């Protein structure tokens, strides 16, 4: 099939490359000149496992074309996919400027074009009702027999987006038309298995289902993060508690890993957007509001534990941060808890040394000389007063703890991702704090042996 994807960002590019990899012929439109040039030279502007190799492969096979703008040729497509950014506006709502501009552009071009019929679908996360608004614009332009609107939300995780594309838990198609649903069945034919249902629902249900899924996952994280704080007080173990909860099939084991708070370009944005959607309908979503405020609080709680380990203050202390990306396997630092930590430490007068396997450039672009980057954990730990493990990259899972301790000024280790145990940290001579497992100080005589 022929597909045109508008937007060569995260969702658009991954979808374009993966649809082309399935054998479809794809045009991906990116109107940002810098990104367009990069993509044309087969370079991915961000880090995502497997994407670079697949981009080269599908471009070389002439199944993916990168274009700077929408033209009437794009009406040869069976499906036009809207995958432009929908960032959070100041009010917490999704900003749909890019999306509606793209729709206006399509309508303007359609008026002079000769084509029979095309499906126009959203893939970006959009507020409930957006599909109807697009429909109204198309009706007003008297194009509703030629442009058929649908919603096909994506569920790709950064860091495993290519894998997720080919192994979806479900494919959701929101449309009023069974013919349009049949088009999507063809589009995903190479992928679709009985165990991975492709579901036909209304536009509204499709749009809501995306916010519902992201917000529910965010709520699970906020729940376990609050329990981690409680565990610190009770002397219970959050890792074991989460594991025991997850063994109950009704709860499920995923998204129960305590953390310094969820980040990224999706959960913070989508939880706020769902809250706004509720407000517009006069429905106060209490659980959603609580999940948001628990997440806002989480980093403050984590910072207070760091200060406790450092006897009350971080002023003039050197703190080493392991991981600035919002999760492993990405260079994305948007809404990362590490940024909130860096901001708080800088305003309290700490010196910051950090390392990250992929996000050093993005972090330096934001902070410049205010922070000091290192390519290895051991160099980043030199003369430091505390190590803070913020992102659970594999590179941080098997650290040589005694070697780290030897280069530090003070042996303090804070683990906000529960990679290490107090036992292993303390046998390496570290005073430690582990989220949801409390503080542990090495007795003076043991410390002096290391
Ligand atoms: C999320 C969803 O998981 C995807 O299904 C969705 O398609 C995507 O948003 C989107 O809307 O585009 P993503 O933001 O890439 O994907 O990453 P996640 O793996 O969901 O992690 C989000 C945040 O939650 C990260 O900061 C992560 O560290 C945190 N997290 C995750 C926890 O703190 N604990 C957990 O147990 C899991």
Q: What is the pLDDT of residues 412-450, one digit of tens each?
A: 999 999 999 999 999 999 999 999 999 999 987 654 444
Question: Contact, 310 vs 386, CB < 8 A?
Answer: yes
Instruction: Using CB atoms within 10 Å of the CB of residue 164, give its burial: 0 to 12 exposed, 13 to 18 middle, 19+ buried.
Output: middle
401 Cα distance to chain centroid: 30
Q: Is the pLDDT of residue 75 over 70?
A: yes
Over residues 354-372, mean pLDDT: 98
Atom 28 (ligand 1) nearest CA: 327
Residue 84 pLDDT exceeds 50: yes
**Are 221 and 235 a contacting pair, CB within 8 Å?**
no
Q: Answer yes or no: 59 catalytic.
A: no
Predicted pLDDT at 154: 96
Q: How confident is the model at residue 193 (pLDDT cuts 50, 70, 90)?
A: low
Q: Which residues neighbour 349 within 8 Å (Cβ) at sequence distance 6 or greater?
A: 314, 315, 316
Indicate if the pLDDT at residue 194 is higher than 90: no
pLDDT at 145 over 70: yes
Residue 113 φ then ψ, to 5°: -105, 155
The response to whether residue 157 sits with its C-beta less than 6 Å from ligand 1 reads yes
Assess whether pLDDT exceeds 90 at residue 256.
yes
Q: Tell which one of 152, 238, 327 to mutate to probe ligand 1, the residue whose CB is within 8 A of the most ligand atoms.
A: 327
For residue 294, pLDDT beyond 60: yes
Q: For 204-232, what is the HEC assignment?
A: HHHHHHHHHHHHHHHHHHHHHHHHHHHHH
Q: Of all atoms in ligand 1, which is nearest to the CA of residue 332?
A: 15
Res. 300: pLDDT tops 60 = yes
What whole-number distance in Å separates Cα of residue 129 and Cα of residue 23?
A: 33
Q: How close is the Cα of 22 to the center of ligand 1, in Å? A: 26
pLDDT band, very low/low/confident/very high, at 147 (cuts 50, 70, 90): very high
Across the range 267-271, mean pLDDT stands at 96
State the average pLDDT over residues 258-279.
96
Contact 381, 407 (CB under 8 A): yes
Tell me the C-alpha to C-alpha distance, in Å, between residue 311 and each of 26, 255, 410. 58, 32, 12
Residue 12 in 3-state DSSP? helix
Q: How many CA atoms lie within 13 A of 400 on its CB side?
A: 7
Average pLDDT, integer, range 43-53: 96
Average pLDDT across the chain, whole number: 96
- What would the mean pLDDT of 101-112 be, rounded to a whole number? 95
Question: Of 94-98, 136-140, 252-256, 391-395, which gets the smallest average pLDDT?
Answer: 94-98
Confidence of residue 31 (pLDDT cuts 50, 70, 90): very high
CATH of domain 2-201: 3.40.50.720
Ligand 1 centre to CA of 210 (Å) is 13
Residue 159: pLDDT band (50, 70, 90) is very high
In the numeric block, which tokens belong to residue 12? 């658009």
In sequence order, which residues have a C-beta less than 8 Å from that of residue 234 and are 6 or more positions away? Answer: none
User: What integer is the mean pLDDT of 92-117?
Assistant: 93
Which residues is 388 bridged to in the sheet?
321, 414
pLDDT of residue 245: 98
Sign of CA dihedral 108, 109, 113, 118: negative
Sheet holding 351-355, edge to edge: 372-373, 351-355, 318-322, 386-389, 412-415, 431-434, 438-440
pLDDT exceeds cutoff 50 at 326: yes
- Asked if residue 2 lies in contact with residue 76, where contact means CB atoms within 8 angstroms, the answer is yes
The whole-number pLDDT of residue 91 equals 83
Answer whether 2-201 and 202-450 agree in fold.
Answer: yes
Residue 195: its pLDDT value, please? 62
The residues spanned by each domain of the chain are 2-201, 202-450
Fold exhibited by the domain 202-450: Rossmann fold (3.40.50)
List the Cα angle 395/401/405 in 5-degree steps: 120
Residue 65 · residue 13 · CB < 8 Å: no
User: What is the model's pLDDT at position 446?
Assistant: 53
pTM: 0.96
């Amino acid at each position: 099939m022929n597909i045109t994807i508008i937007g060569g960002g995260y969702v658009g590019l991954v979808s374009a490359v993966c649809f082309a990899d399935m054998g479809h012929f794809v045009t991906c439109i990116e109107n940002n000149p810098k990104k367009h040039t990069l993509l044309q030279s087969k370079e991915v502007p961000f880090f995502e496992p497997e994407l670079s190799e697949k981009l080269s492969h599908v471009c070389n096979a002439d199944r993916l074309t990168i274009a700077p703008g929408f033209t009437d040729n794009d009406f040869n497509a069976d499906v036009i996919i809207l995958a432009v950014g929908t960032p959070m506006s100041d009010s917490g709502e999704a900003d749909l400027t890019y999306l509606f501009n793209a729709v206006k552009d399509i309508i303007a071009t359609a008026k002079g074009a000769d084509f029979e019929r095309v499906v126009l679908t959203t893939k970006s996360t959009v507020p409930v009702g957006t599909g109807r608004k697009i429909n109204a614009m198309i009706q007003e332009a008297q194009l509703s027999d030629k442009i058929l609107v649908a919603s096909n939300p994506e569920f790709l995780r950064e860091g495993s987006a290519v894998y997720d594309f080919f192994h979806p838990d479900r494919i959701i198609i929101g449309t009023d038309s069974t013919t349009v649903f049949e088009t999507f069945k063809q589009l995903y034919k190479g992928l679709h298995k009985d165990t991975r249902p492709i579901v036909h629902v209304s536009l509204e249900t499709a749009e809501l289902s995306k916010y519902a899924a992201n917000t529910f996952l965010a709520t699970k994280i906020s729940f376990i993060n609050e329990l981690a704080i409680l565990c610190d007080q009770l002397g219970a173990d959050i890792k074991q508690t989460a594991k025991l909860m997850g063994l109950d099939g009704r709860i499920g084991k995923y998204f129960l890993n305590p953390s310094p708070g969820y980040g990224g370009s999706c959960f913070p944005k989508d939880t706020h957007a769902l809250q706004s959607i509720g407000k517009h309908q006069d429905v106060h979503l209490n659980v959603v509001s609580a999940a948001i405020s628990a997440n806002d609080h989480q980093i403050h709680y984590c910072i207070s534990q760091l200060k406790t380990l450092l006897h009350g203050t971080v002023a003039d202390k050197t703190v080493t941060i392991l991981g600035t990306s919002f999760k492993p396997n990405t260079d994305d630092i948007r809404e990362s808890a590490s940024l909130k930590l860096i901001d708080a430490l800088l305003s309290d007068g700490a010196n910051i040394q950090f390392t990250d396997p992929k996000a050093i450039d993005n972090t330096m672009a934001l902070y410049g000389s205010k922070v000091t980057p290192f390519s290895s954990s051991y160099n980043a730990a030199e003369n430091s007063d505390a190590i803070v493990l913020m992102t659970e990259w594999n590179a941080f899972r098997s650290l040589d703890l005694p070697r780290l301790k030897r280069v530090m000024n003070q042996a303090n280790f804070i683990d906000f991702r529960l990679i290490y145990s107090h036992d292993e940290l303390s046998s390496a001579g570290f005073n430690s704090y582990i989220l949801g497992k409390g503080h542990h100080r090495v007795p003076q005589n043991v410390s002096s042996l290391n």
